[in-house]
């Protein structure tokens, strides 16, 4: 199926055509099957890191390097897809995921923390590519169908939330070397799952005309556009806080005396909560607007932090992570929709790369902070868990303040879009 430029203007009726539906279906499948590796790795990354790291404070460094790899890959992947198309970019991401899991497995086999970290860094390229699935869903969608397309693709994570943790239970102790079986499974997921992209049919973006090139803005100019800036801030805070708490959860659960299986079940419930709302988030955005949905998401994230501070029994862990997942869903899908509406065609791919670079830079910081707060803030696992959740406060204030500023800002003489 060719990815050459063709007339694929979305129909303004809002009803998706056959090509749009097929592309969304492909991306939903990819999110479900390939995306299953992320809950697998995030469930075990900190525990495997703890078994290999010379210092417990570095336990979550592998997860931090996954996110750092995603941060570093976002802009190059965006440029690669601009030149070669979405299909090539997504297959490249899956290949990087397979290579990263191979090196991480080698690190586990040889008990090398350095190799495990290198594999984690390369895995970040897959994570970055997965982040573009939601943007690809909007490429051939009409303006009316766009938020629904984004939601449906993210809803594919519902299957990933079931597949990933169950594979962890079956594979983490299947071999003599703990966790090695899980990483071998991730290799297979990437190789087999990448074949679905052969069915993707999204045209390459046309080369910009001289007029479009002149109209395109620099990254600094893009960040000076208030709707773009606030959308990026809200996306970054929603994703970073989700990662901050989720990364610490397996360490907190096991540190408080529960089993690895309990941690896997809690992460599974969390990922389900991340994606189940996607079946109706797009409709809510169409009905109430993206800003209100983002604000609701930030409020739910705050509620998750407050629940976490009430105790460390399993019910509280489940409640915290479920609220965390719902808050992420509303905040992140709402911010993605805001960004898609704010970026004109000549800036779209550049904005997407800039957004993911900033978002995952924030997530990298959060995952680094997560291990330090959890293991090195003094006291026991319960004290570390409280420190992690208290750290949410300033970031929620930043995103909430930015959203209020955008809403109250005078709209006369807006910046060019």
Sign of CA dihedral 349, 350, 353, 356: negative
Q: Report the distance separating Cα 360 and Cα 366, nearest Å.
A: 9
Positions in the chain short of pLDDT 70:
1-16, 205-219, 345-346, 377-378, 411-417
- Do 154 and 31 meet the contact criterion of CB atoms below 8 Å apart? yes
Distance CA(146)–CA(132), nearest Å, equals 14
**Percentages of the chain per state (helix, strand, coil), in multiples of 5:** 80, 0, 20
Q: Tell me the pLDDT tens digit for each residue of 82-137.
A: 888 889 999 999 999 999 999 999 999 999 999 999 999 999 999 989 988 877 88
CB atoms within 10 A of CB 408: 7
Domain ranges of the chain: 18-202+219-408
pLDDT at 181: 92
CATH (residue range 18-202+219-408): 1.20.1250.20
Judge whether 281 and 329 are in contact, CB under 8 Å: yes
Query: What pLDDT is recorded for position 95?
Result: 95
What is the distance of C-alpha 110 from the center of its chain?
30
Please give the pLDDT value at position 70: 84
| C-alpha Rg value of the chain to the nearest Å | 20
The answer to whether 268 touches 261, Cβ cutoff 8 Å, is: no
What are the b/e assignments for 168-187, b being 16+ CB within 10 Å?
A: bbebbeeeeebbbbbbbbbb
């Amino acid at each position: 199926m060719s990815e050459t430029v063709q007339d694929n203007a979305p129909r303004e009726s809002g009803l998706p055509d056959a090509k749009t539906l097929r592309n969304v279906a492909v991306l939903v499948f990819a999110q479900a099957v390939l995306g299953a590796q992320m809950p697998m790795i995030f469930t075990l990354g900190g525990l495997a890191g703890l078994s290999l790291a010379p210092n417990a404070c570095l336990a979550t460094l592998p997860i931090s390097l996954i996110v750092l790899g995603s941060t570093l890959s976002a802009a190059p992947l965006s440029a690669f897809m601009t030149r070669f198309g979405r299909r090539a970019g997504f297959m490249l991401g899956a290949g990087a995921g397979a290579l990263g899991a191979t090196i991480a497995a080698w690190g586990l086999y040889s008990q090398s923390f350095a190799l495990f970290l290198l594999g984690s860094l390369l895995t970040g390229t897959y994570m970055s590519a997965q982040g573009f699935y939601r943007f690809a869903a909007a490429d051939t969608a009409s303006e009316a169908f766009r938020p629904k397309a984004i939601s449906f693709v993210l809803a594919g994570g519902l299957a990933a939330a079931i597949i990933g943790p169950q594979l962890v239970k079956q594979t983490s102790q299947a071999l003599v070397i703990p966790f090695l079986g899980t990483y071998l499974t991730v290799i297979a997921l990437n190789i087999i799952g990448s074949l679905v992209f052969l069915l993707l049919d999204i045209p390459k973006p046309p080369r910009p005309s001289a007029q479009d090139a002149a109209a395109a803005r620099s990254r600094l100019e893009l960040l000076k556009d208030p709707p773009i800036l606030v959308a990026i801030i809200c996306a970054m805070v929603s994703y970073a806080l989700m990662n901050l708490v989720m990364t610490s959860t397996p360490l907190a659960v096991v540190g408080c005396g529960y089993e690895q299986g309990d941690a896997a079940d809690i992460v599974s419930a969390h990922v389900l909560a991340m994606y189940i709302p996607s079946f109706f988030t797009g409709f809510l955005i169409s009905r109430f607007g993206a800003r209100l949905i983002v604000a609701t998401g930030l409020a739910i994230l705050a509620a998750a932090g407050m629940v976490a501070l009430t105790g460390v029994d399993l019910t509280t862990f489940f409640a915290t992570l479920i609220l965390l997942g719902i808050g992420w869903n509303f905040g992140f899908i709402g911010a993605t929709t805001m960004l898609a509406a704010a970026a004109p065609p000549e800036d779209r791919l550049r904005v997407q790369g800039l957004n993911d670079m900033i978002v995952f830079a924030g997530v990298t910081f959060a995952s680094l902070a997560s291990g330090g707060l959890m293991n090195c803030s003094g006291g026991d696992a319960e004290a570390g868990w409280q420190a992690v959740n208290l750290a949410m406060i300033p970031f929620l204030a930043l995103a909430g303040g930015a959203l209020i500023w955008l809403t109250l800002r005078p709209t006369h003489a807006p910046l060019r879009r």
